[in-house]
């Protein structure tokens, strides 16, 4: 068969682990076999792992790279929200585009091929950030599929004018709607309005749900209830949900079943949660990271994601989702290779399912989105933070990073 590009001796993330050849034609995966006879130009992968790229379901490109503009002392969540709200007043379309591009390019170089970015919309910023990110989505479509989730970070029912702007964004290219009930004067009212907008535009929902360690109350039940009423199962995700790090095993089992039955997925954001939670304590600081690996066993779909990069919420970030998954495994005290595999899946196949991509994965007929990692399998890639060496998006090379070379004497 006549291929445009041939990858030799690749190892797939699923199956028996035997190396195979992957033939690419017209931007799609045309064949996968132990050996493909072809003179097509190719790459010898030497048994390295390939996947369809990392999938980041929760990042904020619009407010990335502003650490140098914010003066933060206590490191608390209210301080971070206030500092970003103040910085946001100075944002311009060009400024958001430039900073968003810097973060997006890093993520592409780290092997991310799909991303859902949350974008703040309110009467102060208007649609400036949205317009900048919409332009980025178009300009970088050659390397990454970018979904735009517009949401009211500073509240909806307490912030007149916000709903009209969210609707305007949905009319001009936003892919889905988000919510942030914990900052609203009427959290349940906000949840109801977000479902209303989602149904009006037939779009998915992704909530910033809660962000504290008090399990005595939560909005999770209301989200599950509304998901059931509106028959939106499989189209709703909730992020952070740090309260789930503060419930015991029995409570978690009840909540996990509730989420699984409702079809509500969970995104855990370890870098931010570790940085912001438990700030009032001087010692034995709780981790504040929801136990995604336990939720998986209860039938909940979960992803691990980046959230913030170089801002008061998270003053770190290289765009690497493999690093986030490694961080999660470390914090969650996971060590078995099957658990490492689960963590790898939570930055690849599981988030692809969360964003309802049905064409994700190294399969014949799917778009040729392929990332080569310098490791033989998922567990090693996670444990050793294997560098991504080559990225292919819809059959075209999107980035390359030569393997490190020792200069022996």
Residues lying near Zn ion in the complex (CB under 5 A) are found at: 307
- Compute how many other C-beta atoms are within 10 angstroms of the C-beta atom of residue 336: 10
Q: Which is nearer to Zn ion, 289 or 379 (CB)?
A: 289
Rounded distance between C-alpha atoms, residue 344 and residue 111, angstroms: 13
Closest CA to 57 of 6, 112, 132: 112
Min separation Cβ 183 and Zn ion, Å = 12
Residue nearest to Zn ion (CB): 307
Q: Which is nearer to Zn ion, 24 or 304 (CB)?
A: 304
Min separation Cβ 250 and Zn ion, Å = 29
Rounded distance between C-alpha atoms, residue 47 and residue 375, angstroms: 8
Min separation Cβ 319 and Zn ion, Å = 15
Give me Rg for the CA atoms of the chain. 21
Q: Which is nearer to Zn ion, 119 or 157 (CB)?
A: 119
Min separation Cβ 151 and Zn ion, Å = 9
Rounded distance between C-alpha atoms, residue 305 and residue 151, angstroms: 17
Min separation Cβ 58 and Zn ion, Å = 6
Rounded distance between C-alpha atoms, residue 159 and residue 38, angstroms: 61
Q: Which is nearer to Zn ion, 245 or 307 (CB)?
A: 307
Cα 331–Cα 332–Cα 338 angle in degrees, nearest 5: 125
Min separation Cβ 305 and Zn ion, Å = 8
Min separation Cβ 35 and Zn ion, Å = 46
Cα 214–Cα 226–Cα 342 angle in degrees, nearest 5: 65
Min separation Cβ 269 and Zn ion, Å = 6
Rounded distance between C-alpha atoms, residue 140 and residue 23, angstroms: 25
Q: Which is nearer to Zn ion, 311 or 398 (CB)?
A: 311
DSSP state of 54: E
Rounded distance between C-alpha atoms, residue 308 and residue 311, angstroms: 7
Q: Which is nearer to Zn ion, 27 or 315 (CB)?
A: 315
Measured N-to-C along each axis, helices 220-229 and 249-262 cross at an angle, to the nearest 10 degrees, of: 20
Q: Which is nearer to Zn ion, 227 or 307 (CB)?
A: 307
Closest CA to 11 of 396, 371, 352, 402: 371
Q: Which is nearer to Zn ion, 113 or 306 (CB)?
A: 306
Closest CA to 373 of 381, 383, 365: 381
| Cβ atoms of 274 and 331 closer than 8 Å | yes
């Amino acid at each position: 068969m006549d291929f445009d590009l041939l990858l030799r001796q690749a190892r797939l993330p699923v199956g028996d682990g035997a190396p195979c050849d992957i033939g690419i034609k017209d931007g799609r995966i045309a064949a996968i076999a132990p050996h493909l006879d072809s003179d097509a130009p190719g790459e010898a992968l030497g048994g390295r792992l390939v996947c369809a790229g990392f999938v980041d379901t929760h990042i904020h490109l619009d407010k990335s790279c502003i650490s140098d503009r914010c003066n933060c002392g206590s490191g608390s969540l209210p301080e971070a929200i206030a500092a970003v709200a103040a910085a946001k007043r100075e944002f311009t379309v060009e400024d958001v585009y430039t900073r968003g591009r810097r973060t997006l390019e890093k993520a592409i170089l780290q092997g991310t091929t799909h991303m859902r970015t949350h974008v703040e919309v309110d009467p102060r910023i208007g649609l400036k950030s949205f317009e900048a990110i919409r332009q980025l989505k178009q300009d970088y479509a050659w390397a990454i599929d970018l979904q735009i989730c517009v949401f009211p970070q500073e509240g909806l029912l307490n912030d007149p004018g916000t709903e009209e702007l969210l609707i305007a964004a949905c009319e001009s290219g936003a892919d889905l709607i988000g919510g942030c009930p914990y900052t609203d004067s009427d959290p349940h009212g906000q949840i109801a309005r977000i479902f209303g907008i989602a149904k009006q535009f037939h779009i998915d929902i992704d909530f910033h749900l809660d962000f504290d360690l008090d399990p005595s109350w939560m909005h999770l039940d209301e989200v599950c209830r509304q998901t059931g009423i509106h028959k939106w199962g499989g189209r709703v995700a909730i992020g952070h949900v740090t309260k789930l790090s503060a419930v015991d095993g029995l409570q978690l089992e009840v909540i996990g079943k509730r989420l699984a039955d409702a079809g509500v997925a969970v995104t855990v954001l370890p870098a931010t949660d570790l940085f912001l939670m438990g700030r009032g304590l001087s010692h034995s600081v709780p981790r504040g990271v929801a136990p995604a690996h336990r939720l998986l066993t209860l039938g909940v779909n979960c992803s691990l994601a980046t959230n913030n990069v170089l801002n008061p919420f998270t003053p770190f970030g290289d765009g690497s989702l493999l690093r986030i998954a490694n961080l999660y495994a470390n914090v969650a005290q996971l060590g078995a290779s099957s658990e490492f595999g689960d963590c790898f899946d939570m930055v690849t196949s599981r988030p692809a399912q969360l964003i309802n991509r049905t064409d994700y994965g190294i399969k014949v007929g799917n778009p040729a989105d392929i990332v080569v990692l310098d490791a033989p399998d998922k567990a090693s890639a996670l444990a050793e933070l294997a560098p991504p060496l080559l990225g292919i998006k819809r059959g075209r090379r999107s980035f390359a990073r030569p393997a490190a070379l020792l200069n022996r004497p």
